[in-house]
Structure 1
Amino acid sequence: MTTGTQNANRLIHSTSPYLLQHAHNPVDWYEWGEEALMKAKKENKPILVSIGYSSCHWCHVMEREVFEKDTYARMMNEYLVCIKVDREERPDVDQIYMDAVQAMGVHGGWPLNVFLTPDQKPFYGGTYFPPQQWVQVLEGVHKAFTQRRGEVEESAQQFAEHLAQQDTSRYKRAPEPTALKNDLEAIYSKLEPAFDTVWGGLEKEPKFIMPSLWLWLLRYHHITGNEKALRQVLLTLKRVAMGGIYDQIGGGFARYSVDGYWFAPHFEKMLYDNAQLMSLYAEAYAVTRDEEFKTVLEETFEWLQGEMMHPEGGFYSALDADSEGVEGKFYVWKKDEIDAILKADAPVINAYYSVKEEGNWEHGNNILFRTQADDKFLEKHNLTAVAWKDLLRKSKDRLLEVRDKRIPPGLDDKIITAWNTMMVVGLADAFKATGDRRYLKAALKNMEFIERELTEGVTLYRSYKGKRSHIPAFLDDYAYLIQACIRLYQVTFSEYWIKRAELLMVHTIDHFLDSADGFFLYSGKYGEKLIADKKEIFDNVIPASNSVMAHNLLHLGVMLDREEWKTLAENMTLSLGHIITAEPNYMSNWAIVYTEIKKGLAEVSLVGAEIESLNERFHQSFQPFALTMGTTTHSELPLLEGKVAIEDKTTIYVCFNKTCQRPVHSLEEALEQLRPS
């Protein structure tokens, strides 16, 4: 691809790595904005909105096959006003037109190519188009728009009306009184038949890890003691950690596996996946104290610090699936490469990672992939655990040293507020589970970056790159920042963080809450006016911003004694109870909030000189239904008011719905008071 400004289109001035990838296309691309939209109206042309992201494999393919070719570019420039959108910078635009394409009966995905009337209403769309089909689409769109304009406008109006309908109007219902036990079993009974009891996860391909689903199952097990549920979580996490979806020598997780056994990943690594998986593996470690889960945390953290961290503390967005134009090239190995690097150690390492002479994947390449648990492998090869640990570490280091000399995948180095604050939560959870202060230090450094570069008071920006913060933040940015502030308060007891969460919550309610139905708009009342402002209801790999807000409202409502916030969380969540229990695959984070509401949250207050060490020890047990607060002396926070260190000893108060148990001095006594009945 050409570099510099020679022969560049107007995308050359973008901060988005994805848009910059298209800056030397012969297509006359515009960014989404007033200039392009006014041009379409002035010239009476349809609009092409082409949406993707920098680490998207098929986006690169379509660029090479179509957008870099003069023949296709001339047609596009003549017939259309062409707009390129980075879905990670403008998720609001992506949500609207993804919804439109799915309403057209097309399976969603990226690249997403949607054709609009000059007033932004969609009338045709799809995902990846090969060259000849793209020509047919361009000719068909041009002919329809110029010769059958009335039909196009009528169809576009119907899609626009569909987009204006909110999911809340379709799915929200008056809550029905139900027992927690029945609700839990209803949710579990919907999930359990889909368990893949051999490879973990759910029985479907491709396989996404879906962290919030397994987080709910850990909570379900905590309440019910259902061992099958716990086994499935642990099986999933172990199989994932053994699979090609996990970078066996470099750490970090790819987005998904294309097969049913976590072998061949789609090789892109996304910050948001790794943030949530830090939380999930941390909780699994807290439950089991299994060293393998701790190792995954450590290796992923090393990868984050080495490849994904801005020098001043923020985290970049993604690593591409491709290097040198080939998917996975950076990560795969020929057997003779490993033989040459490891020499006498190669046979046992090849056996460990399922490496074959002919390759275990495409074109004679091998994806490093484990099929046996370590204890069985060591027994088979007559190795001691100590000797094996040393050999494996040295072998990984030697392979990594060679791999690091390869041409790396492209780095999307924009810094997104929502994804970074998800990582703050993931790091804080890793600190909670392990007590390793490196995680807390990185979380605080990340938050300092966000506060410095992406925040003005309580106003946030979505994205940062090249010392520029721009694009007003969306609901998920606010939701995850509030969650991160709550989590940092719980691990540090610095009241700055909970007061910051409170201020941000007030602002978010004012700017995003639709009082008509009690749910939050994605772009907000004062954001750019598109043809629709969606409300995220369904949880996906990333939980819906409304479910995260409900969680925040519930926690802050309890911790700050803001009854109106707690009520809002309950109204949001319980009105969706019938869907949560019927379709938990699509409501897994809601299921966590729903369970917390129905079960109730414990208020755990620590008062006295030793609260820091006591809090660290408390968090290393798994207590998902306890909210911790603490002060060394005096605090005006409602749940701490009037609580003192009895007999000058650090004292723990365990309370349920503002009714407190007997104050105790030992962690063991407090944990006994919290034990599920």
Structure 2
Amino acid sequence: MSNRLASATSPYLLQHADNPVDWREWGEEAFAEARRRDVPVLLSVGYAACHWCHVMAHESFEDQTVAAAVNGRFVAVKVDREERPDVDAVYMAATTTMTGHGGWPMTCFLTPDGEPFHCGTYYPREQFLMLLDGVTEAWTQRREAVTDQGASITAAVRRTSAPLTPDLVDDAVLDRAARLVTREADPARGGFGGAPKFPPSMTLEHLLRHHARTGDPTALSVVEHTCEAMARGGIYDQLAGGFSRYSVDAAWVVPHFEKMLYDNAQLLRVYLHLYRTTGSALAERVVRETAGFLLADLRTPEGGFASALDADAGGVEGLTYVWTPGRLAQVLGPDDGARAARVLSVTPEGTFEPGSSTLQLREDPDPVWWARVRARLAEERASRPQPARDDKVVTAWNGLAIAALAEAGTLLGSPAYIEAARECATLVLRLHLVEGRLRRASRAGRVGTAPGIAADHGDLAEGLLALHQATGEARWLEAAGDLLDTASARFGDDTGGFFDVADDAERLLSRPRDPTDGPEPAGQSSLAGALCTYAALTGSPRHREAAEAAVDAAGGPARQVPRFAGWTLAVAEALAAGPVQVAVVGHDDADRAALERTARGATAPGLVIAVGEPDAPGMPLLADRPLVGGRAAAYVCRGFVCDRPVTTVQDLARQLAG
């Protein structure tokens, strides 16, 4: 018998729809029931691709004894953290306050007023049963202590919503941030820190932009080393492209196998910009393969992109992806099997579990041989149990994908990437904009009820602005401007900062905001970046000032913990560099195409490009910029200073290099 989750749009909630636990979705109805029964709320937060969420579900939430204890003594609420990041942020703040760390599954016990009084993460079945007994005893026998604890934790959570203190991010701050970050890099294995090791997408983009602005060779070296180490390691799917969420070791050998849209969209863009900077064949290959993964494995029938592939297949983590020497020999024959084992670091001892290995590609094999072997291994792997797909379409993450594919399509000459970005943008604007307000997610063409957060507005606007530059279509610029106006009115404060939720959103314990960048850009930095790009494309001083204020509002993390302010610093590098604006005017001919190729190959931080006929409607950068002597021309500006128009690629290259 299904519980109350059967009608949910979230794949994570639907995974729990047949649990014997009487789950409810987040909402006032659940808390009203808790008040009526005078029992605590058990809040469980996770997401569909989370391995340990599945483990706790199998051990506890599918167990009749556990279900009886939960149903009799609590009101159980299940939340998809990806669909309701606001709820997740509030109670993750409570969890880290109480325990010093967080993660998923997140397990919180709340008063009927929503105040958390005990928080944790994963609990094995027997420990969870004891915890249920302990919480029940405290609630019935020591109620005053419980409510005092809840009030104390709530006060701590509310302090996280305090106004941001602006701190100027100038050239000196940018230089110091780059030095601090490069000093923290792992010189042997790439990346930062030890195990587990996460792809540092935004920090790599920050360092690429810093190198482009200053010529700092150390910044570029860190990016090259880290990108090669990740691309050759087990964290990268050597057969189908795309990156796993993180590496459980410090050398990128064994991944946690879930593959997230937001990671792959950001990494695609980083490798694309590395290719643009260095011409690296490895970086270009990773871009094409990762874009191929997005289009083949994450694209939904409606034209959006699904959130993730699960870490598990058939209930076993990594089952789809690992190999043994014997299996390679069976598939490829003894000679090719032995050669593949050497090339791919597949050993009898195993790198993942005893006897099984992830695939690494520490050197480039013969390309003809590798193309044949790779195709045969991919074919065999497709016959194995496959990971489940979380097919909800999240606004922010699709915005990241739109930006990456639009840029990759223009730089690599791949119209299919641009068309995929266009179809995705069309879907999100058609389905997720409801009565002028943005929603967080949809599934199978049905939009959810959760409102969009700040990052949804910033990341989608960033994607639309990249698509505008790739296609010359005015509608994307107009839509981005509308999103930014809404964000400024509904999410902003008087310091240049942004809350994560709108001023008319559901009232939680606090109005969450976090200026630090995590695995994806914070709402604060995503809006700063989109404001910066929009200002450059339109010449709007108001949006330029808002971008500068948004960067300075996150200046504290940028100064103190620059590795956790990667996108803020990347935006600040763009502002410090101008950013560079290039208008290429001309008829659709070879001369204009040559100037456009030169412009798109430039590495200036935050570079914006407009290409089209003189005074093309809906393209402000092309206004009042005529042909020169009847020929196609390029106009280059930095900030508020413009160079003379040029008509040759040599002159344009010199201006861009300057």
Match of 1:631 among 580, 594, 612: 612
1:172 paired to 2:162: no
Q: Which residue of 2 aligns with 1:284?
A: 274
For 1:639 and 1:227, locate their aligned partners in 2 and report how far apart those are by CA, in whole Å: 33
Residue pair 1:577, 1:594 contacting (<8 A) in 2 also: no
2:183 maps to amino acid = P
Match of 2:467 among 480, 488, 500: 488
SS at match of 1:368: coil
The equivalences for 1:29-40 within 5 A come to 29-40=23-34
1:661 paired to 2:643: yes
Residue pair 1:435, 1:616 contacting (<8 A) in 2 also: no
For 2:50 and 2:526, locate their aligned partners in 1 and report how far apart those are by CA, in whole Å: 26
SS at match of 1:94: helix
Q: Which residue of 1 aligns with 2:150?
A: 156
* Post-superposition offset of 1:296: 1.2
Residue pair 1:62, 1:128 contacting (<8 A) in 2 also: yes
| 16-25 vs 351-360, which moves further | 351-360
For 1:480 and 1:450, locate their aligned partners in 2 and report how far apart those are by CA, in whole Å: 12
Q: Which residue of 2 aligns with 1:451?
A: 429
1:354 paired to 2:345: yes
CA distance 1:369–1:657, shift in 2 (3 Å)? closer
CA distance 1:663–1:168, shift in 2 (3 Å)? farther
* Post-superposition offset of 1:499: 1.5
Residue pair 1:423, 1:443 contacting (<8 A) in 2 also: yes
Q: Which residue of 2 aligns with 1:385?
A: none
| 151-160 vs 250-259, which moves further | 151-160
For 2:252 and 2:352, locate their aligned partners in 1 and report how far apart those are by CA, in whole Å: 13
Count of aligned residue pairs for this structure pair: 652
After superposition, the C-alpha distances for 1:477-533 in whole angstroms (9 at most, x for unaligned) are 111111111111112222221122112211222222233x33222220122222212
Match of 2:633 among 651, 654, 657: 651
Q: Which residue of 2 aligns with 1:210?
A: 200
Residue pair 1:190, 1:582 contacting (<8 A) in 2 also: no
Match of 1:299 among 250, 274, 289: 289
The equivalences for 1:276-675 within 5 A come to 276-343=266-333, 344-371=335-362, 373-374=363-364, 388-456=366-434, 458-471=436-449, 472-515=451-494, 517-610=495-588, 611=592, 614-635=595-616, 638-675=620-657
1:358 maps to amino acid = E
Q: Which residue of 1 aligns with 2:103?
A: 109
CA distance 1:159–1:332, shift in 2 (3 Å)? same
Residue pair 1:50, 1:114 contacting (<8 A) in 2 also: yes
Q: TM-score, normalised by structure 1?
A: 0.93
- Stretches of structure 2 that go unaligned for 5 or more consecutive residues are none
Residue pair 1:285, 1:433 contacting (<8 A) in 2 also: no
SS at match of 2:5: helix
For 1:167 and 1:205, locate their aligned partners in 2 and report how far apart those are by CA, in whole Å: 31
CA distance 1:415–1:166, shift in 2 (3 Å)? same
Residue pair 1:322, 1:328 contacting (<8 A) in 2 also: yes
Residue pair 1:106, 1:126 contacting (<8 A) in 2 also: no
CA distance 1:224–1:590, shift in 2 (3 Å)? same
2:656 maps to amino acid = L
CA distance 1:546–1:641, shift in 2 (3 Å)? same
For 1:664 and 1:642, locate their aligned partners in 2 and report how far apart those are by CA, in whole Å: 15
Residue pair 2:109, 2:118 contacting (<8 A) in 1 also: yes
SS at match of 1:11: coil
Residue pair 2:614, 2:624 contacting (<8 A) in 1 also: no
Q: Which residue of 1 aligns with 2:39?
A: 45
| 452-461 vs 663-672, which moves further | 452-461
Q: Which residue of 2 aligns with 1:4?
A: none
SS at match of 1:514: coil
For 1:174 and 1:207, locate their aligned partners in 2 and report how far apart those are by CA, in whole Å: 30
For 2:293 and 2:226, locate their aligned partners in 1 and report how far apart those are by CA, in whole Å: 22
Match of 1:99 among 75, 93, 96: 93
For 1:603 and 1:617, locate their aligned partners in 2 and report how far apart those are by CA, in whole Å: 13
1:255 paired to 2:245: yes
1:75 maps to amino acid = A
* Post-superposition offset of 1:33: 1.4
Residue pair 1:122, 1:156 contacting (<8 A) in 2 also: yes
For 1:303 and 1:657, locate their aligned partners in 2 and report how far apart those are by CA, in whole Å: 37
After superposition, the C-alpha distances for 1:528-575 in whole angstroms (9 at most, x for unaligned) are 222212123110110111101011112222332322222122122124
SS at match of 2:348: coil
Q: Which residue of 1 aligns with 2:218?
A: 228
After superposition, the C-alpha distances for 1:367-395 in whole angstroms (9 at most, x for unaligned) are 11133x32xxx5xxxxxxxxx21111111
* Post-superposition offset of 1:134: 0.9
Residue pair 2:411, 2:600 contacting (<8 A) in 1 also: yes
* Two-structure CA RMSD over aligned residues (Å): 1.8
For 1:361 and 1:269, locate their aligned partners in 2 and report how far apart those are by CA, in whole Å: 17
Residue pair 1:433, 1:621 contacting (<8 A) in 2 also: no
Residue pair 1:478, 1:504 contacting (<8 A) in 2 also: yes
SS at match of 1:10: coil
For 1:106 and 1:577, locate their aligned partners in 2 and report how far apart those are by CA, in whole Å: 24
* Post-superposition offset of 1:132: 1.8
For 1:558 and 1:225, locate their aligned partners in 2 and report how far apart those are by CA, in whole Å: 23
1:172 maps to amino acid = T
For 2:378 and 2:50, locate their aligned partners in 1 and report how far apart those are by CA, in whole Å: 25
SS at match of 1:618: helix
For 1:282 and 1:512, locate their aligned partners in 2 and report how far apart those are by CA, in whole Å: 32
Q: TM-score, normalised by structure 2?
A: 0.96
The equivalences for 1:53-72 within 5 A come to 53-72=47-66
Residue pair 1:335, 1:359 contacting (<8 A) in 2 also: no
For 1:426 and 1:159, locate their aligned partners in 2 and report how far apart those are by CA, in whole Å: 40
For 2:633 and 2:367, locate their aligned partners in 1 and report how far apart those are by CA, in whole Å: 42
| 501-510 vs 23-32, which moves further | 501-510
CA distance 1:201–1:357, shift in 2 (3 Å)? same
Residue pair 2:599, 2:609 contacting (<8 A) in 1 also: no
For 1:638 and 1:490, locate their aligned partners in 2 and report how far apart those are by CA, in whole Å: 12
For 2:265 and 2:90, locate their aligned partners in 1 and report how far apart those are by CA, in whole Å: 26
| 615-624 vs 99-108, which moves further | 615-624
SS at match of 2:374: helix
| 389-398 vs 293-302, which moves further | 293-302
Q: Percent identity?
A: 36
2:92 maps to amino acid = M
After superposition, the C-alpha distances for 1:14-46 in whole angstroms (9 at most, x for unaligned) are 121111111111111101112212111221211
For 2:400 and 2:460, locate their aligned partners in 1 and report how far apart those are by CA, in whole Å: 8
Residue pair 1:458, 1:504 contacting (<8 A) in 2 also: no
1:146 paired to 2:137: no
- Stretches of structure 1 that go unaligned for 5 or more consecutive residues are 1-6, 379-387
SS at match of 1:213: helix
For 2:157 and 2:213, locate their aligned partners in 1 and report how far apart those are by CA, in whole Å: 40
